Amino acid sequence: MCGIIGYIGNDEKKSILLNGLKELEYRGYDSSGISVLSEGELSTFKSVGKLINLERKCEGFHSSGFGLGIGHTRWATHGKPTEVNAHPHFGKFSNVVHNGIIENYHSIKESLQQQGRSFISQTDTEVIVHLFESHLENLKNPFEAFKHTISELKGAYAILLITQKSPDTIYYAKNGSPLIIGRGKDSKDAEAIYFASSDAPLIGLASEVCYLEDGTLGAIKAGGFHTLPNPKLLSGDKLSAQKDGFTFFMEKEIYEQHKVLLETMMGRVSEDNFSLEELSELDLSSVDSITLCACGTSYHAAIAGSYLIERIARLKVKVEIASEFRYRNPILQANELFVVISQSGETADTLEALKLAKRNGLKTLGICNVDNSSIVRESDFSLLTRAGIEKGVASTKAFATQVMVLWILANFIAQKCGILSKAAMKQEIKTMLEAVRATEVDKKAHEHIKRLSRRYLHGHGFFFIGRDIFYPLALEGALKLKEISYLHAEGYPSGEMKHGPIALADLGLFCVALMPQNLLYDKIKSNVEELSARDAMICALSAEYYEGCDDWIAIPKYSHYMVEFFAMMVVLQIFALEVAVRLGNDVDMPRNLAKSVTVE
Ligand code: M6R
């Protein structure tokens, strides 16, 4: 989704803004722009498409000496991805960048047009800068004008505004969209101030950061020492955000799953015990059911979690798609624990579902990959998934760690409720470690999938099928493939095929069958046979050769279905990756998608 960057200091503004935007690229965007205010001059550059286009546009521009700047990557919501619609938007002497949606922009625009102000873009954002300039005309004080402007906006926003009328100040406001202020030193050892919509661009620049709360607005002036409210230290671990020699972030992220899964377990799983310190204040005895709520891949992890929690902890679990949940006036029960799952912690639908549950008095838990994200801050309790920065838009290691956290949670609850014997606990922990090892990518197996992938570039679609917890894995396998290959793929519980979908079975239908040896093998086998009998092309994932298949991706023999689950997860991720690479697609930044969906 859109990304924001801002800077006040003495260093070259252009490069700081462009580098910052590069760090935000992975969120997905279709246009970008920067504005620099230095020596009273306001210079703005915008372009459509990749950042390289913007870099080319401002090649000859330099801005050494003191100044400030704002930048933006846009993912179109109101108005097409054109240069005019790209941010920063400008009035006569001020520029603005904005993430989120201004819901009442129509009425503001109309009244500004009646005052004779003209608009050039189709965006909601442009009203902010004209409204500011209109207030400034009357109030003569930029900060007062900014405050009045913000008070009239309805909707979600993170806003940075600069104006020639106050050339040493950045005005900022935050409500519903993330905004961070960072403080560091510039190359002259003087104080430098940074703004960004996520941590990534601030790593290595800001030593401390402040995650702004909803409803905050302010102005930061250059010079002088600034004390950030509630400052947090920012780690300088930039390396982990790089590609480590892999061609794609997605590939690197698939390969590092075994490491991050161990991180996820650290301190929470010992030889014979589960401990979640983060939940020490949570009274589990008052919880009689759990609702898991999320979007996309995180929703698939939620379904997987529902199988685990019900089976292991014997607690009733309901799973909700966040965008559906928020508008259907759901019935919520007092003793329900409301759990939201999110990689980014900024997904608008999930965040709003969480707020709704809180308003209804439910205890809430956020399972999230980004510390200090809106979801973590909003939840009563939180469990971090510890996957590290995930840059590939198609989620991989985040999914793996979400399932792991849910698996740990299931065992933790079972242990607390006294329904897990010491022996069973020990066995479960052994299985978890084996599952982690199963995610270590075997290069030979990767090569085999790569060769096989060329047989799957045509046809009229894919069914990914599985039973029980392999059903959400099938959903996830299909989502991975469609996200990056743009081929049509659906996930189904295999027992559902004969209730309709089997009508599609013919020579042009690919069926990826998840056939774990340790869970309902014979049941799924007969479902696959039905498809095979109707000429569908079968690609079987199993430990044992299944004679009805056209292709076989072998996984090693394991004695527990969860180990098979994690092994097959890796196969499905690599399969999607290799098909997409053969089709020449941008694996890390697939079309039409954004890493963090901060609008509903
Ligand atoms: O950050 P979140 O986990 O809340 O994001 C939810 C979905 O937008 C996300 O999982 C999406 O489906 C990914 N592109 C999946 O690869």
pLDDT tens, position by position, 469-501: 999 999 999 999 999 999 999 999 999 988 988
Rounded Cα distance, 588 and 26, in Å: 7
Q: Nearest C-alpha to atom 4 of ligand 1 is from which residue? A: 342
What separation in angstroms does the CA of 386 have from each of 192, 233, 265, 368?
30, 17, 9, 8
The confidence band for 258, taking pLDDT boundaries of 50, 70 and 90, is: very high
CA nearest ligand 1 atom 7, residue: 296
CATH of the domain at 343: 3.40.50.10490
User: What is the reported pLDDT for 532?
Assistant: 85
**Spatial distance between the Cα atoms of 171 and 133, rounded to a whole number of angstroms:** 13
**Mean pLDDT score, 111-116:** 95
Q: Find the helix packing angle between 422-438 and 561-582, rounded to 10°.
A: 20
Per-residue pLDDT at 316 exceeds 70: yes
Residue 564 belongs to some domain of the structure: yes
**CATH code at position 85:** 3.60.20.10
C-alpha 394 – ligand 1 centre gap (Å)? 8
Secondary structure class of 206 (helix, strand, coil): strand
Q: What is the pLDDT of residue 1?
A: 59
What single-letter amino acid sits at 189?
A: D
Query: What's the rounded Cα separation, in Å, for the pair 216 and 179?
Result: 10
Q: Establish whether 595 is a catalytic residue.
A: yes
Q: What is the dihedral of CA 300, 302, 305, 309, to 10 degrees?
A: -150
Q: What pLDDT does residue 225 have?
A: 59
Give the per-residue pLDDT at 244. Answer: 67
Binned at pLDDT 50, 70 and 90, residue 65 comes out as confident
Residue range 291-296: mean pLDDT, rounded = 98
pLDDT of residue 245 exceeding 80, the answer is no
Element (H, E) at 307: helix 296-308
Is residue 219 domain-shared with residue 289, that is, in the same domain? no
Mean confidence (pLDDT) of the chain? 92
Which is it for strands 336-342 and 289-294: parallel, antiparallel or unpaired? parallel
Confidence grade of residue 231 (pLDDT, cut at 50, 70, 90): confident
Are 463 and 448 part of one and the same domain?
A: yes
Q: Is residue 594 part of a domain?
A: no
Cα 549 to Cα 528: distance, rounded to the nearest angstrom: 9
Q: Which of 347, 351, 599 to mutate to test the pocket of ligand 1 (most atoms within 8 A of CB)?
A: 347
Pick the last residue of a domain from 180, 206, 236.
236
Residue 274 per-residue DSSP state: B
For residue 298, give its domain range: 242-440
Verify that 416 and 530 share a domain, yes or no: no
Between 222 and 423, the more confident residue is: 423
For residues 232 and 246, membership in a common domain is answered with: no
Residue 26 pLDDT:
61
Task: Check whether 459 has a pLDDT greater than 60.
Answer: yes
Q: Decide if pLDDT at 241 tops 60.
A: no
200 vs 339: which has the higher pLDDT: 339
In a domain, 456, yes or no: yes
Nearest-atom number in ligand 1 for the CA of 402 is 3
Q: Categorize the per-residue pLDDT at 2 as very low, low, confident or very high, splitting at 50, 70 and 90.
A: confident
Judge if the beta carbon of residue 123 lies within 6 A of ligand 1.
no
Given a contact cutoff of 8 angstroms between Cβ atoms, the answer to whether 66 and 13 are in contact is: no
**Alpha-carbon dihedral 504, 508, 509, 511, rounded to 10 degrees:** 150
Residue with tokens 């740990």: 408
Q: Higher-confidence residue: 475 or 594?
A: 475
Residues 517 and 563 in one domain: yes
* Cβ of residue 38 lying under 6 Å from some atom of ligand 1: no
pLDDT value of residue 280:
92
At residue 388, the pLDDT reads 86
For residue 215, the model assigns a pLDDT of: 94
435 and 451 fall within a common domain = no
What number does the ligand 1 atom closest to the CA of 394 have?
Answer: 16
Is 266's pLDDT higher than 90? Answer: no
Q: Identify whether 595 is part of a domain.
A: no
- 64: nearest Cα among 237, 188, 239: 188
* Residue of 2, 58, 511, 549 marked active site: 2
Task: Please indicate, yes or no, whether residues 205 and 351 belong to a single structural domain of this protein.
Answer: no
559 is a domain residue: yes
**Would you state the pLDDT for residue 24?**
82
Looking at the structure, tell me whether residues 40 and 165 fall in a common domain.
Answer: yes
Q: In the chain, how long is the greatest CA-to-CA distance?
A: 81
- Mean pLDDT comparison of 192-201, 293-302, 504-513, highest-scoring range: 293-302
* Alpha-carbon gap, residue 257 to 398, rounded angstroms: 9
- Cβ–ligand 1 distance for 573 under 6 Å, the answer no
Residue 350's beta-bridge partner residues? Answer: none
Exactly one of 14, 174, 363, 595 is catalytic; which is it?
595
Are residues 119 and 34 both part of a single domain? yes
Q: Model pTM?
A: 0.76
Q: Does position 240 have pLDDT exceeding 60, yes or no?
A: no
Percentage above 90 pLDDT, the chain: 74
Q: Of 236, 267, 300, at which residue does a domain stop?
A: 236
List Cβ neighbours of 35 (8 Å cut-off, separation of 6 or more).
Answer: 42, 43, 44, 45, 69, 70, 71, 88, 90, 95, 97, 162
Q: Which atom of ligand 1 is nearest to the CA of 594?
A: 14
Whether residue 347 has its Cβ less than 6 Å from ligand 1: yes
> Cβ neighbours of residue 284 under 8 Å, at least 6 residues apart?
413, 416, 417
Least confident of 5-9, 311-315, 344-348, 502-506: 502-506
| Alpha carbon separation from 221 to 50, 225, 412 (Å, rounded) | 32, 10, 49
Bridge partners of 219, per DSSP, are: 171
Among 405, 440, 475, give the residue marking a domain's end. Answer: 440
Neighbours of 140 (CB within 10 A): 10
Instruction: With respect to residue 347, please indicate whether it lies within any of the assigned structural domains.
Output: yes
Confidence label for 408 from pLDDT (cuts 50, 70 and 90) = very high
pLDDT class of 238 with cuts at 50, 70, 90? low
Q: Are residues 292 and 229 in the same domain?
A: no
Q: Is 297 in the pocket of ligand 1 (CB under 6 A)?
A: yes
Q: How far is the CA of 484 from the centre of ligand 1 (A)?
A: 13
Burial of 413 (0-12, 13-18, 19+ CB in 10 A): buried
Helix (H, G, I), strand (E, B) or coil at 23: helix
DSSP string, 575-597: HHHHHHHHTT--SSS-TT--SS-
Which tokens sit at 309?
């929690």
Cα–Cα dist 502/505, whole Å? 5
Confirm or reject: Cβ of 344 under 6 Å from ligand 1: yes
Beta carbon of 597 within 6 Å of any ligand 1 atom: yes
In a domain, 599, yes or no: no
Same domain, 429 and 475: no
Q: How far apart are the CA of 200 and the centre of ligand 1, in A?
A: 18
Is the distance from CB of 318 to CB of 337 less than 8 angstroms?
Answer: no
Residue 198 lies in a domain: yes
CB 564 within 8 Å of CB 575: no
Asked about 2 being catalytic, the answer comes back as: yes
Q: At what angle do helices 397-416 and 296-308 cross, to 10 degrees?
A: 30
pLDDT at 454 over 80: yes
Q: How many domains does the chain have?
A: 3
Residue nearest ligand 1's atom 14 by CA = 394
- List Cα–Cα distances, 310 to 142, 286, 319, 458, 468, in angstroms: 57, 17, 12, 40, 12
- Residue 388 and residue 370 in contact, taking contact as beta carbons nearer than 8 Å: no
Q: State the distance from the centre of ligand 1 to the C-alpha of 548, rounded, in angstroms.
A: 35
Q: Is the pLDDT of residue 313 over 90?
A: yes
Query: Is 296 touching ligand 1 by the criterion CB < 6 Å?
Result: yes
Q: Specify whether 272 is located in the same domain as 341.
A: yes
Tell me the pLDDT tens digit for each residue of 153-181: 998 899 999 999 999 999 999 998 889 99
